Every structure is written in C-alpha cells, then in structure tokens.
C-alpha cells in the first residue's frame, strides 16, 4: 500500500511482478514443502500490498497472481471441457496371483527378457482432475467427467494453494514444457475431513460419508469461495499431453513435476521386477493406517515411458498400470449399548458402544450412528452382531447388521423424549434432535467452555476438559466469562481435588495472559455458528474491529470473501441477541482486551484512532480503496458526518454530507491535501 499514488506505471509493474513471484515462491515453500521461510504477517502484508497495487492498476494484474486464488464470483454451471487425451481408469487386482498375471501379460506383450522396472505409488482416494499449463501458466483445470469430457473447475482449482499458478522454472523459462497436462488427484486430508464434519454437525448440516465425497462436494461448488474454505490438496500422478519436453522414466517425470512446484504422492518407489514391486505394495498397505489421506489401494506402473508407449491403452484402461486394491478394513463385533451424546450446539447424537475390535490396526469401541433416521434405517439394536469399517479409512462406522445372528433378545433403541444431559425439551430440526436450552444445558456449556479455552481461541493453558468439568460440576463457574473471575475464587479452586498452589498460579497466569486477544481469535472463541477459524480471520481482516462487525449489515458481511448468506445471517443474529452482548460486555468488564488487526501493525501511526469521512468522487481511488488506505494506517472511515469525524475528504460533487459537515464545523480537505496527510503519515 506504501505510496501507491507516487508510483509510475512502470514502477508499479516492476513491483507487481516482483511481489507475484515472491508470493508464489512462499506459497510453494509453505504449501508444497511445508517449509515456510517468513512469518505469516510478512506474507500477509506483501499480499495486501499486491492487492492494493492491483486495484490501482488492474491492467497490470498477472494471470498467476496469488490474489486470484479467492474472490472469483460463482458461476451458474460448469462449462464442459473436452480432454485432448482421454482420462482412463485402472484395472484392479486383489491378490498376489492376479498381480503375477499382470506382470506376465506385460512380459509376453513386450517379449521381455529381463524383469520389468515398476513404479509403485499410493492410490489416493480423491477426485481425478487435469491441470493444463501453457508455457508454465495454469490456464485450465477440469474434472475427469466421463473420461472424454469433463467440467471446467479452473476457478475452484485456483483456490487450492498447492496447485501452482505458474510452474517454477529457471529464470528464462527454459526447460519447461510448452504444453503440460498434469493428471492428478484432488483430495482432503483425514484431519480436514474430520474438522469439516465436526463443523457441519455443529451447524446441523448433513455430514460427508468419507474424505472422497467431501473432496468431490467441495471441488464441484459453483461458488469457489466455498471451495477455498475447504482446504483441499492435490497430488500429481501422471500426464495427458506434453509438448516441448520429454522424459525417459515415469519416476523422472514425477521428479521434474516436483521441481516445477507440483506436489506428487509420497512413498513413490521404483522396483526391479515382480517380487520387489509386490513387497512395495504390501508396504503401502501397511502405510494406509497412518497416511494423512485416504487410500483405497496402490498403483503399479511400468516406469520406462518407451515401454508405456509400446504397451498402450485398452478402451477403458491402460495396459501399463494396474491398481492393487486393499482388502476392506472391517471387524466383527457386538453392540453393547446405544447411548446419546449432546454436542456444543445441543444436537443429540446416538452412538453405538461396541465391544472393542481391531479395525485395520486401530481399536474401535464406539461408532457414531449420526442421526436417529440413519440408525432406524440400518435397524441397529442393542445386542446385535455388526460389521464395523472405517469410512474413508477414518470414521468408525457400523457397516452392516448381521440380522441372521439375532437371538430375539436384542433391544430396539428409542430416542429419549428429553435432553439426556439437562432434561430440557427436545425439538427436531431436519434430521437432528436438539436440546433447546442452550448454555443452560450443562453438556452444551461444557463443550462451549472447552472451545472457548482451546488453542485457537483464548488458549488458556491448564484448563482442559477435566478441570472445566470440575469447575462446572462444583459450581465454581457458570458461564464462559467466569473464567476471568477465577482469580477471585482461589479458595474454591484450592478446595478441588488435585489443585495445588503452583498449578493455581500457573493457571491464573495463563488466564491473565489470554486476556489480550486478537480479534480473529476472539470471534472464533465466541462459538458463533458457522464461524470457524477461517471465517473469523476473514471477518477480522476485512472489518478490523469488533464494533464494525457488530454493526455490519448482512449485505456488508456478504461482501467479505468466504462469507455467504448463511454465515452473514448467523453472525448478524448473534450480535443482535442481547444475551450474547451481555457476555461480551461481561468479558470486557473483566479486563478482556480485543486487539484489532490495525492496532497491532500500526502501533505508532499518527493517524491511529482518527476518523475519516469521504464524500464525492475521488480522482485516484475508489471510495472503498481510500477507506482501506486509511484503515491500513490505523484510522477508520465512516459514512455519516458527526462530531467524531476528524477529517472530511471532499472529492468532486460532494453533496449533502459536505453541507452537514460544514454545519458541524468539521475539518474539510480536498483530495490533494488528503494525499499529503497520508504521505506525511506514511513517512512517520
């Protein structure tokens, strides 16, 4: 943002080019290599500078700009894209014998005299996509579709940070293919999948069955803003067309992709011959449990690309590769009980309590049945013998009820009529049953408190689940704000079993430290429905103060990238609820200080805390940009004249606001003077 107005077009171009390249390099370090070199703040400030420049000089924005990863408006439907080379699927083998047949077929076809070199890789359970790079620039991305025609999901793919918008290359772009169609898999990590489902459950939305469905649902969103929030990832595993470069081995091509900045699947291995390849497949099978992503098998490919060419394709699948499918992870066990748990938003979830069983290396002793309807559909009864799997390698799931093993003693489950935690009334919302007592329901309060004190929120060290339960059960605290009253309750605390002087001191010190909290964390801590860490950051970044967020209309909220009508509704109604405002007031009165983003960065700006009002048209900036300019200096911009306004900036055709400002006796300045003020304060 620094001195934008003083930049000539040439200077701006130089700066935009440099920032684009630098930011893309840091993206690569961060997302592909997981080895960031600079703190987030430095990245953010470069990104903001680039955004400012691009707004001032829209014609200089580069197609590989990192700012184009979000903020593309939704489309009504995806365009169709014809694949230049068809995207085939793979034949499956399930046993070693079948794999031996595959190897023998290849040997025969090639009339080979020595063992074939193979490359083995995980088969990532995601969605197949094609990314087209022309002279290193990402120009189009599409789904597989029917193999011949897919859907254009370029805008959505651009939101995936791991996908380079421009390939990395030596300075002069030498050594890059002129056309490269990268084939690969868009996927969601198991962890992100669990997080997303938790969020959906809290928001009474249907959960995704497995990471693959979640990734598919997220990629095929007409609004790329939604895709951006889902933190998808990408692995490359092959190529469609390629011009201007060639490789001898599949493994060499994958290594080149990595140099270009394109992530490839981990645990790739080149193997000489059948035996070595098969043992690599077995290693991949045992990697499955700890893999951060869902795997539905492993893929074996002939490594020599000349042999690949000679082998060629059948109609649906290639001759040179095969998928080795892992056996289903399942275990047989018994349903000991079906219990109901109450979540943070009051949803009552039936959970099957199981006799512990090993499912693919993990002991499972409970499985959520999600909703009563789902439970009823499967007809799970207490005492039933069941098969348990892990959906997408993650979530324990009752896969099948072995009805033929029923003895007649099994007991059907009935949903309780009142909340199992507090006895409150229950209502049915869609597929969910929900206790309506909110924070008056202990189960809900318990989880809200845990969320409130958690790492991403107030980060109170030492107040884990165990202590929070004790504090609530013993009546030491009654709501979230009471955490900040604990220093007055030393006696009560010391009376709790397991609490000592030292622990108490550490706890109180941590509470004291957590009182100064960044706006984004504070918003997240409030537990507003639909406001996870990402949305909280967006709100903080764009509105910059709690007051502004409280006041923002639904329309204003929806202008923020990542905020749709549902989130806007939820945020706006949260701040209209007097009970919530009382909690915020109480937190403030107990010494909680919410730090606005500008206060942290522009601590010494002389314009900090000043109020600007813009009226009429400015020559150099849109009103919105001018507003951001002053906000970046710690000042704020309002739209109604009042005694609180320090500067009224009058552009062309100012109108009634200027009149009103004159009546109020405010300081009115013209556009050039405004720039002088800004310049002077930038220099300060």
If one counts every other C-beta atom within 10 angstroms of the C-beta of residue 411, the result is 12
Q: Which residue has the tokens 């009474």?
A: 204
Q: What are phi and psi of 224, to 5 degrees?
A: -60, -20
Burial environment of residue 128 by CB neighbours within 10 A (0 to 12, 13 to 18, 19 or more): buried
586 an active-site residue? Answer: no
The DSSP call for residue 75 is -
Of these residues, 79, 123, 465, 657, which one is catalytic?
123
Edge-to-edge strand list for the sheet holding 647-650 = 636-638, 611-615, 647-650, 668-670
Q: CB-wise, 52 or 238, nearer to ligand IVH?
A: 238
Rounded least distance, CB 89 to ligand IVH, Å: 4
What does the alpha-carbon distance between residue 323 and residue 465 come to, in Å, rounded to a whole number?
Answer: 44
What does the alpha-carbon distance between residue 79 and residue 222 come to, in Å, rounded to a whole number?
Answer: 11
Q: Which of 21, 25, 16, 17 is nearest to 49 (CA)?
A: 16
Rounded least distance, CB 249 to ligand IVH, Å: 15
Q: CB-wise, 25 or 84, nearer to ligand IVH?
A: 84
Q: CB-wise, 255 or 646, nearer to ligand IVH?
A: 255
What does the alpha-carbon distance between residue 633 and residue 4 come to, in Å, rounded to a whole number?
Answer: 14
Q: CB-wise, 123 or 521, nearer to ligand IVH?
A: 123
List, in sequence order, the alpha helices (H) in 517-633: 519-525, 533-543, 546-551, 554-558, 565-576, 578-589, 597-601, 623-632
Rounded least distance, CB 516 to ligand IVH, Å: 47
Q: CB-wise, 318 or 641, nearer to ligand IVH?
A: 318
Rounded least distance, CB 93 to ligand IVH, Å: 12
Q: Under a CB-based contact definition with an 8 Å cutoff, are residues 376 and 433 in contact?
A: no
Which residues are near ligand IVH by CB under 6 A?
Answer: 88-90, 121, 123-124, 128, 185, 237-238, 265, 299, 318, 321, 323
Rounded least distance, CB 527 to ligand IVH, Å: 38
Q: CB-wise, 265 or 457, nearer to ligand IVH?
A: 265
Rounded least distance, CB 299 to ligand IVH, Å: 4
Q: Under a CB-based contact definition with an 8 Å cutoff, are residues 436 and 426 in contact?
A: yes
- The H or E element containing residue 215 is helix 211-219
Q: Which residue has the tokens 């270009």?
A: 260
Whose CB is nearest to ligand IVH? 128
Rounded least distance, CB 313 to ligand IVH, Å: 7
Burial environment of residue 209 by CB neighbours within 10 A (0 to 12, 13 to 18, 19 or more): middle
Q: What are phi and psi of 513, to 5 degrees?
A: -65, -35
Q: CB-wise, 302 or 357, nearer to ligand IVH?
A: 302
Residues that are catalytic:
123
């Amino acid at each position: 943002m620094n001195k934008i107005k003083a930049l000539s077009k040439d200077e701006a171009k130089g700066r935009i080019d440099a920032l684009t390249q630098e930011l893309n390099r840091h993206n690569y370090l961060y997302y592909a290599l997981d080895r960031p070199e600079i703190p987030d703040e430095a990245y953010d400030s470069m990104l903001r500078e680039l955004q400012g420049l691009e707004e001032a000089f829209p014609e200089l924005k580069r197609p590989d700009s990192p700012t184009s990863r979000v903020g593309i408006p939704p489309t009504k439907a995806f365009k169709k894209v014809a694949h230049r080379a068809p995207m085939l699927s793979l034949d499956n083998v399930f046993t070693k014998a079948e794999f031996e047949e595959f190897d023998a077929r290849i040997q025969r076809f090639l009339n080979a005299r020595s063992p074939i070199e193979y490359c083995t890789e995980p088969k990532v359970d995601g969605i197949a996509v094609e990314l087209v790079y022309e002279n290193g620039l990402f120009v189009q991305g599409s789904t597989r579709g029917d193999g011949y025609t897919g859907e254009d999901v370029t805008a959505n793919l651009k939101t995936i940070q791991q996908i380079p918008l421009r390939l990395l290359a030596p300075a002069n772009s030498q050594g890059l293919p002129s056309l490269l169609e990268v084939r690969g898999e868009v996927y969601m990590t198991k962890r992100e999948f669990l997080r997303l489902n938790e969020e959906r459950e809290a928001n009474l939305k249907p959960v995704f069955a497995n990471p693959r469905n979640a990734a598919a649902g997220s990629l095929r969103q007409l609004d790329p803003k939604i895709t951006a929030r889902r933190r998808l990832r990408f692995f490359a595993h092959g190529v469609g067309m390629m011009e201007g470069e060639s490789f001898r081995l599949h493994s060499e091509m994958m290594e080149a992709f990595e140099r270009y900045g394109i992530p490839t699947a981990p645990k790739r291995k080149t193997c000489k011959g059948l035996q070595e390849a098969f043992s690599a497949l077995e290693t991949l099978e045992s990697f499955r449990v700890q893999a951060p992503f869902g795997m539905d098998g492993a893929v074996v490919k002939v490594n020599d690309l000349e042999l690949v060419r000679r082998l060629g394709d059948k109609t649906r699948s290639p001759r040179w590769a095969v998928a080795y499918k892992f056996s289903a992870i399942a275990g047989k066990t018994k349903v000991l009980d079906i219990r109901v748990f109450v979540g943070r938003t009051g949803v009552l979830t039936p959970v099957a309590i199981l006799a512990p069983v090993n499912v693919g290396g993990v002991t499972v002793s409970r499985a959520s049945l999600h909703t009563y309807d789902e439970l009823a559909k499967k007809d799970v009864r207490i005492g039933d013998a069941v098969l348990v799997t892990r959906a997408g390698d993650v979530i324990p799931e009752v896969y099948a009820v072995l009805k033929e093993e029923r003895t007649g003693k099994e007991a059907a489950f009935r949903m309780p009529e009142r909340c199992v935690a507090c006895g409150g009334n229950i209502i049915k919302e869609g597929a969910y049953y929900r206790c309506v007592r909110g924070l008056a329901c202990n189960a809900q309060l318990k989880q809200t408190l845990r969320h409130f004190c958690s790492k991403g929120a107030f980060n109170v060290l030492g107040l884990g689940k165990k202590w929070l339960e004790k504090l609530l059960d013993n009546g030491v605290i009654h709501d979230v704000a009471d955490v900040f009253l604990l220093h007055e309750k030393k006696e009560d605390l010391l009376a709790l079993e397991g609490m000592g002087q030292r622990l108490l001191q550490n706890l109180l010190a941590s509470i004291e430290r957590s009182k100064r909290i960044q706006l984004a964390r504070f918003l997240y801590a409030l537990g507003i429905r639909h406001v996870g860490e990402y949305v909280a950051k967006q709100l903080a970044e764009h509105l910059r103060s709690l007051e502004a967020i409280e006041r923002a209309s639904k329309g204003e909220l929806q202008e923020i990238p990542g905020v749709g009508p549902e989130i806007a509704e939820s945020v706006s109604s949260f701040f209209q609820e007097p009970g919530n405002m009382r909690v915020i007031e109480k937190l403030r009165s107990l010494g909680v200080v919410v730090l606005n983003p500008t206060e942290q960065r522009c601590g010494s700006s002389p314009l900090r805390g000043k109020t600007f009002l813009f009226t009429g048209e400015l020559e150099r900036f849109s009103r919105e940009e001018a507003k951001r300019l002053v906000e970046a200096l710690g000042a704020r911009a309002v739209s109604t004249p009042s005694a609180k306004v320090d500067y009224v900036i009058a552009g062309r055709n100012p109108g009634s606001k200027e009149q009103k400002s004159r009546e109020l006796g405010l300081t009115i300045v013209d556009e050039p003077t405004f720039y002088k003020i800004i310049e002077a304060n930038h220099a300060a």
